[in-house]
């Protein structure tokens, strides 16, 4: 039987304010949902799974034989979510899903997690089933691991799902503590897309995950979360590369803890200083920045009203996040785009983003 009751769900992108590559090292993260979304709408259709996107085309696959596709790999985010929800006893059969949205893809704003969450919430409406919100986030993370091949942490899904307007989201990836922290109304966040797309499944992300795991083993700790800054120079036999990878994660965790206190105190200048430190560590210790990202950060820091800037997300391309005084934000965004285009010939997407509610 085919049910023709349509449903839809939307999930926002997220901006990582601080906490770069800390999540899969059992660390802490600070991010926010933004007012750019991906929406998935659809109906039940017991004959097949059909997925349509204005950007990527149409895919149809057998409802009884869910598996990753070697072509049309964008559809694997949706197919993976359907497969993971089935493993949780959600009675998913066939469906038609239409994908749309205004969230830039491949820019480090977590379009993948937004697509996964919008799909999950849609399917839980089409095939009614109740799951705790954190379990939904984890199912989406597993879909990315198993169907896409990116061994991502959980921060993207958590921030997109638990976001709250005008609040940052603090996530402790070991204890799974999730808190929202008021974001000062006097501050604004600007996203600037470098025009250099990321391709995490190509290996650099997974390589960093392996390197940080090896660093934890070399320092004889369960995870880099357990290493203190003062211990980073211990153990002389550790390679310089692994020591730098560890330094980035360990000091980044410390920056997140300090940043929460600074937000609560309304100290935007102190918060911006931590963002600057984070980017310098990304460039030197973690080597996940690029010439384009460094240029965006350098330009932004010279503009009046800017308090700090850094890459956001996994790096290796994508976007930067700039913290500035709210009354200066429109001019900063305009000047940043103009100066970057003059230097590179690339006209970047630059926009002042509002901190928004999570998936719905």
pTM of full prediction above 0.85: yes
**Better pLDDT: 198 or 358:** 358
Query: Three-state SS string across the chain, please?
Result: CCCCCCEEEEEEEEEEEECCCCHHHCCEEEEEEEEEEEEEEEEECCCCEEEEECCCEEEEECCCCCCCCCCCHHHHHHHHHHHHHHHCCCCCCCEEEEEEECCCCCCCCCHHHHHHHHHHHHHHHHCCCCCCHHHHHHHHHHHHHHHHCCCCCCHHHHHHHHCECCEEEEEECCCCCEEEEECCCCEEEEEEECCCCCCHHHCHHHHHHHHHHHHHHHCCCCCHHHCCHHHCCCCCCCCHHHHHHHHHHHHHHHHHHHHHHHHHCCCHHHHHHHHHHHHHHHHHHHCCCCHHHHHHHHHHHCCCCEEEEEEECCCCCCEEEEEEEHHHHHHHHHHHHHHHHHHHCCCCCEEEECECCCCC
- The residue extents of the domains of the chain are 7-178, 184-353
Report the pLDDT averaged over residues 288-295. 96
Is 156 annotated in the active site?
yes
Model pLDDT for residues 2-61, shown as the tens digit of each residue: 446 899 999 999 999 999 999 999 999 999 999 999 999 999 988 899 999 998 999 999
Report the pLDDT averaged over residues 231-249. 93
Specify the CATH number for 7-178; select among 3.20.20.100, 2.40.50.1020, 3.30.230.10, 3.30.470.20: 3.30.230.10
CATH code linked to domain 184-353: 3.30.70.890
Q: Would you state the pLDDT for residue 4? A: 63
Q: Which among 23, 98, 156, 193 is annotated as catalytic?
A: 156
Report the pLDDT averaged over residues 228-237. 88
């Amino acid at each position: 039987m085919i049910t023709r009751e349509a449903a839809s769900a939307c999930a926002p992108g997220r901006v990582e304010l601080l906490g770069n590559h800390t999540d899969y090292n059992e660390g802490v993260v600070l991010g926010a949902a933004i007012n750019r979304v991906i929406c998935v709408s659809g109906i039940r259709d017991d004959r097949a799974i059909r997925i349509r996107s204005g950007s990527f085309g149409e895919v149809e696959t057998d409802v009884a034989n869910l598996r990753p596709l070697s072509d049309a790999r964008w559809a694997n985010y949706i197919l993976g979510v359907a497969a993971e929800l089935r493993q949780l006893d959600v009675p998913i059969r066939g469906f038609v899903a239409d994908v749309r949205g205004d969230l830039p893809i491949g820019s480090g704003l977590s379009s993948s997690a937004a697509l996964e969450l919008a799909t999950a919430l849609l399917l839980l409406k089409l095939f009614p089933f109740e799951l705790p919100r954190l379990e939904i986030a984890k199912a989406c993370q597993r879909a990315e691991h198993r169907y896409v091949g990116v061994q991502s942490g959980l921060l993207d899904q958590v921030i997109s799902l638990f976001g709250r307007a005008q609040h940052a989201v603090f996530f402790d990836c070991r204890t799974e503590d999730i808190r929202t922290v008021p974001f000062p109304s006097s501050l604004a966040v600007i996203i600037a897309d470098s025009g250099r797309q990321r391709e995490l499944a190509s290996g650099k992300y997974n390589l960093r995950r392996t390197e940080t795991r090896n660093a934890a083993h070399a320092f004889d700790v369960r995870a880099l979360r357990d290493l203190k800054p003062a211990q980073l120079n211990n153990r002389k036999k550790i390679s310089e590369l692994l020591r730098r990878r560890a330094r980035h994660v360990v000091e980044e965790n410390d920056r997140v803890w300090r940043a929460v206190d600074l937000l609560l105190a309304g100290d935007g200048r102190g918060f911006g200083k931590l963002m600057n430190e984070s980017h310098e560590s990304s460039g030197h210790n973690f080597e996940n920045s690029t010439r384009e990202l460094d240029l965006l950060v350098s330009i932004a820091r010279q503009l009046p009203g800017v308090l700090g800037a850094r890459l956001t997300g996994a790096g290796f391309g994508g976007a930067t996040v700039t913290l500035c005084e709210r009354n200066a934000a429109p001019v900063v965004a305009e000047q940043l785009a103009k100066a970057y285009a003059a230097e590179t010939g690339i006209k970047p997407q630059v926009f002042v983003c509002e901190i928004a509610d999570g998936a719905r």
